[in-house]
C-alpha cells in the first residue's frame, strides 16, 4: 500500500515538471529470446450485468422491436461485438447475480415474474434470461461465464441451474429446458460462486465465505464433455488477507479466484471525477491509478504462488475499468458514462498488464460491455457508437492466444531531464504464424515519445502498425460524431540496424506488427 501512495504522490512532481513538448526518450527491449506463457484469449472478456441500459436497450430489444434484431438481440451490437471475437461473457452480475433466481428467467416471457432490481433500481422483467443469454454467447461465438447466487440462493438452486443448462439426461430439469425450446445442452465453461461476498454478496468474512464456497462448489458437477471451471469470489484492491484466507482454506476446490479493481480518477468513491470534463492532473491521476493494477496483481499472485506454485489456479480480474461520477443532463440509466481517449489508454494499460502476467491472469472481464461504466458500445434508441475503448480491444485482438514475450522499458539517455514523467508502457506477443506484436502506450498528455526498440536475440526486418490518438485529452465519439477517435495507420516506425526507432504522438496507443 505504501508503494501505491508513493506512486500517487509522485504525480504532483509529474504535473509540475512534464509540461513541455520535447520527446520523452525511452529504450524498449523485447525479449524474443525468453518467450513466456500463452496469453489466454479470455483476458479479453466482457461483462454484462442487469444494470442500467445494458441488457435492456443495449442488447435486448425484443423480437417485435423496429430495431433490427436476431431473436430479440439487436443486430448492430451483435455485428460490432462479433468483430472483436469476444472470448467470454460474464452474466448476470455483479451484485445483481446475488439477487437473481434463475427460474424467473425461463419459460414463456409473458409469464415471467416482474421483480424489483434492488441492486440497481427499476423493474426486472426477466425477458432476458438463461435461454436469451446462451443465445447471445452462441451468436458471439463466446464462452459463457455464468455467475451464481450464494448470498440469497442455495446450493440446490445453483446445482439445479447447472443441471438445467448442461444435462443431456432424461432428468426433469433437462426435459424442462427441452420444453422451453433448447434440445441440446449448452456448454458452461465458467461458473462464479457468488460475487463480492465481502460487500453486496452478503457482507461476509473471508473465513465464512471460504466455508460457503466449499459447500456450494461441492454441488457443481461436470456433465458429458462440459467442464465447469469454478471461480471463487475474490478480493477487491489490496485486500490480500481475503485471498490468503480463501486460498488457504479452499484451494483444492478452486479453479480461479477473482479480483476486482476499478480506476477512479480521484480514488474517492464520493467524488470519483467526471468522465469527460477533466484536465491534465486528472488524466495523470487516472493513468497512475490504472498502473496500480500491476502491483495489485503481483500482490495477489505472490500469495497464490505460495499455495499453488504450479499455477493451477488462475487469477481472474473479472471486473476492471473506469468508474466516474454520474453524468449531468438526461438520465441514460444507472452507471452510464461517456468514454474518451483517456479510457482507451486505461484499457490498453490494463490489457498490457494482463498480457505481461499471462502465466497467472487467465481470465479478465472489463466492466461493462454496453452502456455501463467503461463500455465498448453505447446505444441510444436505434443509434450505436463505438467508444475509444472498443477500438483498443479491436487493436489488441492480435494478442489473444499468442505467446507472451517479456518487455523491458527504461528511460533513455536524457532521463535526467525528464524528472518524473511516465515512460511508455508496453507488452508483446508472438502469434501462431510467428508474427510479433508489440503494443505501446505513450501516457504523456503533451509530449511525444521517441522509443528505441531492440529485439534481444533477433533482428527486426519489417514493421507496420495501427495508432489510436485524438486531438484532445477528452476526445470522444458521440452519436453526432461517431468517428472522432478511430484507429489510423501508424507511420512512426523505422527499422534501423535490426532494431526499431519509434516516434509516438502524445496520448497514444500503438500496436506494431513486426517481422523478424
Give catalytic residues, as residue numbers: 196, 319
Phi, psi of 70 (to 5 degrees): -115, 110
Q: State the cell numbers at 54.
A: 445494458
Q: Which grid cell is 369?
A: 460491455
CB of 49 to ligand AHR, least distance (A): 5
Closer of 40 and 49 to ligand AHR (Cβ): 49
Residue with smaller CB distance to ligand AHR, 89 or 95: 95
Kindly state the number of chain residues that form the binding site for ligand AHR, as judged by CB under 6 A: 10
Phi-psi region of 58 (alpha: psi -120 to 50; beta: other; left: phi over 0): alpha
Site for ligand AHR in 35-94 (CB under 6 A): 49, 93-94
Biggest CA-to-CA distance, the chain: 73
Lookup: cell for 129: 434470461
Min. distance of Cβ 510 from ligand AHR in angstroms? 29
- What is the closest distance, in whole angstroms, from the C-beta atom of residue 236 to ligand AHR in the complex? 8
By CB under 6 A, residue 98 contacts ligand AHR: no
Cβ neighbours of 252 (radius 10 Å): 10
C-alpha to C-alpha distances, 456 to 33, 342, 351, 462, 500, nearest whole angstrom: 6, 32, 23, 16, 12
Locate cell 455483479: which residue? 94
- For residues 119 and 126, which CB has a smaller minimum distance to ligand AHR in the complex? 119
Q: Rounded to whole angstroms, how far apart are CA atoms 349 and 344?
A: 9
If one asks whether residue 202 binds ligand AHR (CB under 6 A), the answer comes out as no
| 80 Cβ neighbours under 8 A, 6+ residues apart | 376, 377, 384, 386, 390
Are 59 and 378 contacting, i.e. CB atoms less than 8 angstroms apart?
no
Under rule CB under 6 A, residue 234 binds ligand AHR: no
Residue from 126, 149, 195, 425 in contact with ligand AHR (CB under 6 A): 195
Position 293 contacts ligand AHR (CB under 6 A): no
| CB-nearer residue toward ligand AHR: 163 or 319 | 319
Shortest Å, Cβ 19 to ligand AHR: 36
* Min CB(373)–ligand AHR separation in Å: 6
CB of residue 444 to ligand AHR, shortest distance in Å? 30
Which residue is at the shortest CB distance from ligand AHR? 94
DSSP string, 123-163: EE---S-HHHHHHHHHHHT-EEEEEE--SSS-HHHHHHHHH
Closer of 353 and 367 to ligand AHR (Cβ): 367
Single out the residue of 28, 39, 80, 95 in contact with ligand AHR (rule: CB under 6 A).
Answer: 95
Instruction: Confirm if 421 and 414 have CB atoms less than 8 A apart.
Output: no
Which is closer to ligand AHR, CB of 49 or CB of 394? Answer: 49
In whole angstroms, the minimum distance from the beta carbon of 326 to ligand AHR comes to: 13
DSSP 418-444: HTTPPPPEEEEEE-TTS-EEEEEEE--
**In angstroms, what is the minimal distance from the CB of 348 to ligand AHR?**
20
Residue 280's alpha-carbon distances to 7, 287, 443, 475, in angstroms, are 17, 11, 11, 13
**Pick from 196, 308, 343, 394: which binds ligand AHR (CB under 6 A)?**
196
Residue 418 in the binding site for ligand AHR (CB under 6 A)? no
Nearer to ligand AHR by Cβ, of 49 and 454: the residue is 49
Q: Which is nearer to ligand AHR, 88 or 422 (CB)?
A: 88
Subset of 341-380 contacting ligand AHR (CB under 6 A): 367-368, 373
Q: Which three cell numbers stand for residue 359?
A: 502465466
**Could you tell me which residues come within 8 angstroms of residue 97 by beta carbon, excluding any fewer than 6 positions away?**
49, 147, 148, 149, 192, 194, 195, 201
The secondary structure element, H or E, covering residue 318 is strand 314-322
Q: Which of 319, 343, 352, 516 binds ligand AHR (CB under 6 A)?
A: 319
CA dihedral 282, 286, 289, 294 (to 10 degrees): -150
Can you give the binding site for ligand AHR, defined by CB under 6 A?
49, 93-95, 195-196, 319, 367-368, 373
Amino acid at each position: 500500500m505504501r508503494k501505491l501512495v508513493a506512486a500517487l504522490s509522485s504525480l504532483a512532481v509529474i504535473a509540475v515538471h512534464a509540461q513541455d513538448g520535447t520527446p520523452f526518450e525511452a529504450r524498449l527491449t523485447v525479449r524474443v529470446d525468453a518467450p513466456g506463457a500463452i496469453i489466454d484469449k479470455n483476458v479479453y472478456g466482457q461483462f454484462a450485468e442487469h444494470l442500467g441500459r445494458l441488457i435492456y436497450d443495449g442488447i435486448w430489444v425484443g423480437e417485435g422491436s423496429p430495431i433490427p434484431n436476431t431473436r430479440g438481440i439487436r443486430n448492430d451490437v451483435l455485428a460490432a461485438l462479433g468483430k472483436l471475437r469476444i472470448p467470454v461473457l460474464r452474466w448476470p452480475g455483479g451484485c445483481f447475480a446475488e439477487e437473481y433466481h434463475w427460474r424467473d428467467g425461463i419459460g414463456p416471457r409473458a409469464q415471467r415474474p416482474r421483480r424489483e432490481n434492488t441492486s440497481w433500481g427499476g423493474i426486472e422483467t426477466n425477458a432476458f434470461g438463461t435461454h436469451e443469454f446462451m443465445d447471445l454467447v452462441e451468436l458471439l461465438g463466446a464462452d459463457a461465464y455464468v455467475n451464481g447466487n450464494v448470498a440469497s440462493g442455495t446450493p440446490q438452486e445453483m446445482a439445479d441451474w447447472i443441471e438445467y443448462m448442461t444435462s443431456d439426461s432424461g432428468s426433469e430439469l433437462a426435459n424442462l429446458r427441452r420444453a422451453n425450446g433448447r434440445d441440446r445442452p449448452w456448454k458452461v465453461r465458467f461458473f462464479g460462486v457468488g460475487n463480492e461476498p465481502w460487500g453486496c454478496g452478503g457482507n461476509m468474512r473471508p473465513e465464512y465465505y471460504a466455508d460457503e464456497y466449499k459447500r456450494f462448489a461441492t454441488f457443481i458437477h461436470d456433465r458429458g464433455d462440459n467442464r465447469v471451471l469454478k471461480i471463487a469470489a475474490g478480493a477487491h484492491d489490496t485486500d490480500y488477507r481475503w485471498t490468503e484466507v480463501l486460498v488457504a482454506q479452499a484451494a483444492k476446490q478452486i479453479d480461479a479466484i477473482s479480483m476486482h479493481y476499478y480506476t477512479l480518477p480521484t480514488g474517492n468513491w464520493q467524488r470519483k471525477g467526471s468522465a469527460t470534463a477533466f484536465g491534465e492532473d486528472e488524466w495523470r491521476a487516472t493513468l497512475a491509478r490504472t498502473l496500480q493494477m500491476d502491483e495489485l496483481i503481483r500482490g495477489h499472485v505472490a500469495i497464490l504462488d505460495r499455495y499453488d506454485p504450479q499455477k493451477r489456479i488462475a487469477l481472474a480480474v473479472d471486473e476492471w475499468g473506469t468508474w466516474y461520477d454520474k453524468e449531468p443532463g438526461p438520465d441514460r440509466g444507472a452507471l452510464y458514462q461517456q468514454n474518451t481517449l483517456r479510457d482507451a489508454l486505461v484499457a490498453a494499460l490494463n490489457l498490457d498488464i494482463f498480457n505481461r502476467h499471462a502465466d497467472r491472469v487467465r481470465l479478465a472481464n472489463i466492466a461493462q460491455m454496453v452502456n455501463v461504466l467503461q463500455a465498448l458500445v453505447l446505444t441510444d434508441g436505434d443509434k450505436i457508437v463505438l467508444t475509444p475503448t472498443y477500438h483498443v480491444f479491436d487493436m489488441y485482438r492480435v494478442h489473444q492466444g499468442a505467446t507472451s514475450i517479456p518487455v523491458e522499458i527504461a528511460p533513455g539517455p536524457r532521463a535526467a531531464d525528464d524528472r518524473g514523467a511516465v515512460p511508455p508502457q508496453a507488452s508483446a506477443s508472438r502469434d501462431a504464424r510467428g508474427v510479433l506484436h508489440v503494443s505501446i502506450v505513450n501516457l504523456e498528455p503533451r509530449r511525444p515519445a521517441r522509443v528505441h526498440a531492440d529485439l534481444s536475440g533477433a533482428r527486426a526486418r519489417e514493421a507496420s502498425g495501427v495508432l489510436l490518438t485524438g486531438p484532445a485529452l477528452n476526445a470522444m465519439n458521440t452519436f453526432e460524431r461517431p468517428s472522432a477517435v478511430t484507429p489510423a495507420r501508424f507511420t512512426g516506425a523505422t527499422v534501423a540496424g535490426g532494431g526499431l526507432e519509434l516516434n509516438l504522438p502524445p496520448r497514444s496507443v500503438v500496436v506494431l506488427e513486426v517481422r523478424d
